[in-house]
Structure 1
Amino acid sequence: MELTLQKIAPGLIGDRTFGIHPFGGKPDLLRKLPARLKGYSSFAVQQGYGVVILVDEDREDCCELKDRIESIVKNSGLASVSSGASNPVVLSRIVVEELEAWLLGDPQAVVAAYPKIPVSYIKTKKYRDPDAIRGGTAEALEPLLKRYGYIADSMRKTDVAVSIATHMDVSSNISRSFNTFKAGLAVLLSDDLEPLRSS
């Protein structure tokens, strides 16, 4: 997620500054998030910071996960995009089902990174709707790369993420969760918040 965001953030937020704060997985994020947000609440609004919380669904109930995160945001005293507040400071989004759905959502970027893969792969039922892939989007991407000779054994997720994200066009992604994230980000940035913090 961190490496992908480093590549695509400029296309999403323009020349605004941003920082990325990775956590040691979803349990670590959920454990540390209340204290982190309370720390931000003392200066985020005054200094024009926005906070983005991104987490993989990873086969969890996305509604329950979103509700849990939104509850933490509310308890921190910060307004979120999802609450409908007029001046939101926090955007929380769930990547359905995993980050690889965003990567598969840009077939031109996949083909630019791995030219032996025909762009027609996106027309097959399995890949037509990246967010609907069951059993893991990483597990769907790996056999595609194996079939065309890019990997022999297991896929190195970070390498693949960087390779594809380098070519991503944020204006043409077909992943619904990516476009939901992008739309929420546009709301968060509508008041021209200057620095953006991503978690």
Structure 2
Amino acid sequence: MIEKIIFLIEEYSMEVTLTELLPKVITDIDFEIIRFQCKDDLLKQLQGRLRAYASWIPDNWRIVVLVDRDDDNCIRLKQQLENISAQAGLVSKTAAAPNAPFKIVNRIAIEELEAWFFGDWQAVKAAYPKVSVDIPKRAGFRDPDAIKGGTWEAMERVLKGVGYFKTGLRKAEFAREVSAKMDPQLNTSKSFQVFLEALV
């Protein structure tokens, strides 16, 4: 039985989102969120941080590394995370044999955190009632993980178009409002569901 999960993440709006979402998903597991300055900072410090954990982390604790894909090649980025984990001496879920124990799970939000919000449009609508209910049915929005040109930019355009965030999307504020209303089980983002199955 997992007792605690440590999340290593790249930015503040992700921390805000997880703080709201995790209690809905892992009700009986303690968690800690460690936020880095940015993705580059996380990747630069990751091996040292994981080596330190490898020296003392209890068997019933787990580490989850979560980064945005951004413009990176997803396969290369995942391999980079897997290599860092292995070099630090931690067996990942991907590298472990089926049903074998592992210590770390590497996950990627594709292409950015905001894809997860597109994946639960009911939550966005609940937080920002003026947005159109049919956004997920429109071409270009049907697959949250395949939205072109940046998901946060797309979200900003949708919200600005109906009068919200006229001076620009305030990502942490938006993340807090929407994630508080999200139902994790209903999310249509594939990368969100892959993240979710790492926790349960």
Indicate conservation of the 8 Å contact 1:73/1:79, yes or no: yes
- Which residue in the other structure is 1:124 paired with? 138
Q: Which secondary structure state, in structure 1, belongs to the residue aligned with residue 167 of structure 2?
A: coil
Percent sequence identity is 43
Alpha-carbon distance in 1 for matches of 2:35, 2:25 = 19
Aligned residue pair count: 185
Runs of 4+ in structure 1 deviating by more than 3 angstroms, as ranges, are none
Higher relative contact order (CA 8 A, sep 6+): 1
- Which residue in the other structure is 2:165 paired with? 151
Residue of 160, 163, 170 corresponding to 2:177: 163
Alpha-carbon distance in 2 for matches of 1:12, 1:81 = 19
- Structure 2: give runs of 5+ residues left out of the alignment: 1-13
AA of the residue aligned to 2:38: G
Indicate conservation of the 8 Å contact 2:140/2:148, yes or no: no
Q: CA RMSD in A?
A: 1.1
Q: Does 1:97 pair with 2:114?
A: no
Larger CA deviation: 154-163 vs 116-125: 116-125
Q: Which secondary structure state, in structure 1, belongs to the residue aligned with residue 185 of structure 2?
A: coil
State the 1:7 CA deviation: 0.4
Q: Does 1:50 pair with 2:62?
A: yes
Residue of 4, 14, 33 corresponding to 2:27: 14
State the 1:102 CA deviation: 0.5
Alpha-carbon distance in 2 for matches of 1:35, 1:113 = 39
Alpha-carbon distance in 1 for matches of 2:103, 2:197 = 15
Indicate conservation of the 8 Å contact 1:45/1:89, yes or no: no
How does the TM-score come out when normalised to structure 1? 0.90
- Which residue in the other structure is 2:147 paired with? 133
How does the TM-score come out when normalised to structure 2? 0.89
- Which residue in the other structure is 1:181 paired with? 195
State the 1:145 CA deviation: 0.5
